Every structure is written in structure tokens, then in C-alpha cells.
Amino acid sequence: MRISRKSLAILAAGAIVVGAGIAVAASSKPPATASGANVVAAGVQPSVAGGGILQTTIFRNNNSVVNAAAGFNPVHSVAIVVNCPGPGNCIIEVDQAMQVANSPTANNRYAICSTVDGVFMSQPQCPFAGIVPTSGFETSSFIQFKTGVPPGNHNMQSFLYLDAPAKRSHSTIAYRVHRNY
């Protein structure tokens, strides 16, 4: 099989782009909440992490309906421990899906956010996912990354942020550790 110079150049350019990863910076710094987490409006361009080799996936699912206060509400009763095996740093990915319902307050915004070792993930910041309905349920999902995570064990926690009290219902969260190439 013969490959033309043009095809080879296209393949090489594609390999460079994929190998380098993609980094898109947000156009402005989002406002911080009292806890130090940044919650941003929908439509802000997120940062995107580069690739890695998947090492571990941990799923956590919660199907109970609970009352959630205004502010940050932990999704798990205890932190989830993940391990970056090394050599080199890791990328932690958190795929979050959550259902909210029955806000007694109109225009009650909510966000889904996660922490690594107690520090809110910022790739991207925690965007507002929507408005909690005053009756019925709303479901949203969101993915965050943390790059440059050193080898060792790391504590993970996910949070539901609410402007005002509401109900938290079903949630599914996947914590993934990727070892850098």
C-alpha cells in the first residue's frame, strides 16, 4: 500500500494535535462563592484536558430523594479515594449526573461540582446547570477534569450547589483516573 505525501502530512498533523491535547481557556474569570468554588453561567467556554491511559473507574449511584440546603451539599457521606499509580502525573475525570426537584423558590439555580483533596476542580469551573423546577424533576450532567495530579491516593467528593433549598434525587457519578501518556 502506498501513502501519498499529502496523506502522510495530514496524518502527522493529526497526530500532533491529538498528542498535544486541547486547551481552551475561559474568556473571563468566574465569580467565587464564599467557599472558594467558582460557579459560572452556562455558555462560558471550558478548559479541556488532554488524553491519558485509563487506569480506574469508580461508580457511585444514589437513588434516594433527600432535602438539600442552600449552598454546597456533599453527594457522598464519605470521600471517594482514587489512586494515581504513576509514573508521572494523572488526569482525574469526574462524570456527574444529578436530578433535582421541588424548589419552593422560583429561579433557584443549581450546579454540580467536585473536589480533589478538598480543592474544587477548575477544568472547567462549576457552571450553573439550570433552574430547579418548583414541581417535578430536572436532570443535568457535567464532566470536570483535573490535570497534573501527582502519584498517590486522592480524596474525591462531589457536591450539589443550590441558591435556595430543594430536593436532590437520583445521582450517578463516575470517577476516572487516567495516567498521562
pTM of this prediction exceeds 0.85: no
Per-residue b or e along 58-83, where b marks 16 or more CB atoms closer than 10 Å to that residue's CB: eeeebeeeeebeeebbebeeeebebe
Q: Are 57 and 156 in contact (CB under 8 A)?
A: no
Q: Which residue has the higher pLDDT, 14 or 181?
A: 181
If you average pLDDT over every residue of the chain, what do you get? 79
Express each pLDDT in 104-119 by its tens digit.
999 999 999 999 999 9
Express each pLDDT in 10-28 by its tens digit.
333 333 322 333 222 222 3
What's the total number of domains in the chain?
1
Q: Are 126 and 112 in contact (CB under 8 A)?
A: yes
Task: Specify the amino acid at residue 96.
Answer: Q
Express each pLDDT in 123-151 by its tens digit.
888 889 999 999 999 999 999 999 999 99
**Mean per-residue pLDDT, 119-123:** 92
What residues make up the domain containing 81?
5-179
The CATH number for 147's domain is: 2.60.120.1340
Q: Which residue has the cell 501519498?
A: 4
DSSP class per residue in 117-160: TTEE--BS-EEEEEEE-SSSEEEEEEEEEEEEEPSEEEEEEEEE
